[in-house]
Amino acid sequence: MLSPEEKQRYARHFTLSQVGIEGQQKLKASSVLCIGAGGLGSPSMLYLAAAGIGRIGIVDPDVVERSNLQRQILHGESSLGSTKLESAEARLKDVNPHVQIEKHPCRFTAENALEIAKNYDVIIDGTDNFPTRYLSNDVAFFLKKPNIYASIFQFEGQLSVFAPHLGGPCYRCMLPDPPAAGTVPSCAEAGVLGVLPGVIGSLQAMEAIKVILGIGEPPMGRLVHYDALQTAFREFKLRKDPQCPLCGSNPTITTLQPIMNHNDICQAPSGPNELSVAELKAKIDQGLTGIIIDVREQWEHDIVNLPQAKLVPLNTFPSIIPELTELGKDHEIIIHCKVGGRSAHAVEFLINEGFTNVYNVIGGMEAWQKL
C-alpha cells in the first residue's frame, strides 16, 4: 500500500499507463543490488531511489576521495573520508526516505557474492574492473537474475541486459575470458569525462525499472554503444554462444571463479620469460647488464619510475627495435609497466621478432613500490 505522502511523491508515474499505482507498488516491492557506489552506481541509485524501488543493496569497500567527486555524484565535499556506503545512504535517504538501504561494506568476491546477491531481484553492474564484472555476470547467471551491465571508457560507454535465463546471452558470450591483467587501462589510467557515467548509469536505472515493471524492450542480445564526442548511439547484436563457458550447452564454469587479488599477482612464481620484482631488484643491486624498458605512458612515468629504465610507451614500442637489434638478439631485455599486462604484450612482440633473452616484470611498478 502507498501512503498519501508516497502518492504525492510518485504522482508523475501514475499518469503513465505503463506504471500507474500498480507499477508503483511493484517498484516498492522490488529490490536492486548495485555493485559499486562509484561513477555508474551514483546516477543509477539516485534515480532508483527517487523512483521508489523498495530496497537498494550497495556493495562497496571504499572511502570517498576528492578525485571521485568529478563524476560520482552521490558523494560530495562533506562526505570526504567517510565510507561510500555511509555517504550513499545519507544522500539516498534524503532523496527518498521510503527506500530501505542495505550496506555491504566489503569487496564483492566469489566467497560472498551468492550470499549477498540472492536477496535481490536485479543486479546492477557498476564495477570498474574485469574480474568483478565477470563475477557480477556469473552470479546473476547462477541465481537466474537479470544483470544490468555497463562499462565506460574516456568518452564512450556501453550497456546491455544479460539474462540468459530469459533466453538472452551473457557477458561471457560476448567476451569469454577476461583480458590479461593490465592490458586494458582502468578509468584511473585512461581517464573518463565525468558526465559519461552519468549518462550510462542513468540508462542502467531505466533498464532496471523496465525489467521490474516488465515494460518495453530491454537490450537483451543487444549491446548499446554511446559515443559522447559524436553524440551517437549505435547498436550491436549479441548472440547467445552455444560454446559459452558459462551459459552454453557444455559449460566449463560451474561455480564462481575466485578473483586473483593484487598479492596473488605479486607473489606469482615467475615463468620462463618472467621476472618477479624481487628478482629485478637483485639484478639491479648486482650491477645490471641488460636494458630495462618502461612501456607505460609519459604521465605515469612522471609519477614514479625506475631511474634505470628507458621510457618507450607501448604504442611507440616498435620504434625501439633497431636499437635493440644493434645490442644483439640475445641481449637481456627487461620490460615493465604498471601491473604487468602491457609489458607482457611487449615481451611477446620481441619474442616474435626473434629476441631470446626477454623478461616481463610481474606486477610492474605497483609490485615494485610494495617491495
37 binds Zn ion (CB under 5 A): no
| Position closest to Zn ion via CB | 244
244 binds Zn ion (CB under 5 A): yes
Q: Which of residues 161-180 bind Zn ion (CB under 5 A)?
A: 170, 172-173
SS (H, E, C) the chain: CCCHHHHHHCHHHHCCCCCHHHHHHHHHHCEEEEECCCCCHHHHHHHHHHHCCCEEEEECCCECCHHHCCCCCCCCHHHCCCEHHHHHHHHHHHHCCCCEEEEECCCCCCCCHHHHHCCCCEEEECCCCHHHHHHHHHHHHHHCCCEEEEEEEECEEEEEEECHHHCCCCHHHHCCCCCCCCCCCCHHHHCECCHHHHHHHHHHHHHHHHHHHCCCCCCCCEEEEEECCCCEEEEEECCCCCCCCCCCCCCCCCCCCCCCCHHHHHHCCCCCCEECHHHHHHHHHCCCCCEEEECCCHHHHHHCCCCCEEECCHHHHHHHHHHHHHHCCCCCEEEECCCCHHHHHHHHHHHHCCCCCEEEECCHHHHHHCC
Minimum Å distance from CB 169 to Zn ion?
5
Of 10-18, 201-209, 222-230, 239-247, the window that binds Zn ion (rule: CB under 5 A) is: 239-247
Number of chain residues interacting with Zn ion (CB under 5 A): 6
139 binds Zn ion (CB under 5 A): no
Q: Which of residues 310-369 bind Zn ion (CB under 5 A)?
A: none
Q: Which is nearer to Zn ion, 250 or 352 (CB)?
A: 250
Q: Which is nearer to Zn ion, 108 or 134 (CB)?
A: 134
Minimum Å distance from CB 159 to Zn ion?
17
Minimum Å distance from CB 247 to Zn ion?
3
26 binds Zn ion (CB under 5 A): no
Of 27-35, 56-64, 67-75, 241-249, the window that binds Zn ion (rule: CB under 5 A) is: 241-249
Q: Which is nearer to Zn ion, 138 or 300 (CB)?
A: 138
CB 339 within 8 A of CB 295: no
Minimum Å distance from CB 177 to Zn ion?
12
277 binds Zn ion (CB under 5 A): no
List active site positions: 187, 337
The residue to which cell 559519461 is assigned: 196
Minimum Å distance from CB 255 to Zn ion?
15
Among 73, 101, 140, 247, binds Zn ion (CB under 5 A): 247
Of 190-198, 224-232, 238-246, 330-338, the window that binds Zn ion (rule: CB under 5 A) is: 238-246
Chain-centroid distance of CA 250 in Å reads: 27
Q: Which is nearer to Zn ion, 165 or 329 (CB)?
A: 165
220 binds Zn ion (CB under 5 A): no
Minimum Å distance from CB 26 to Zn ion?
28
Q: Which residues of this chain interact with Zn ion, rule CB under 5 A?
A: 170, 172-173, 244, 246-247
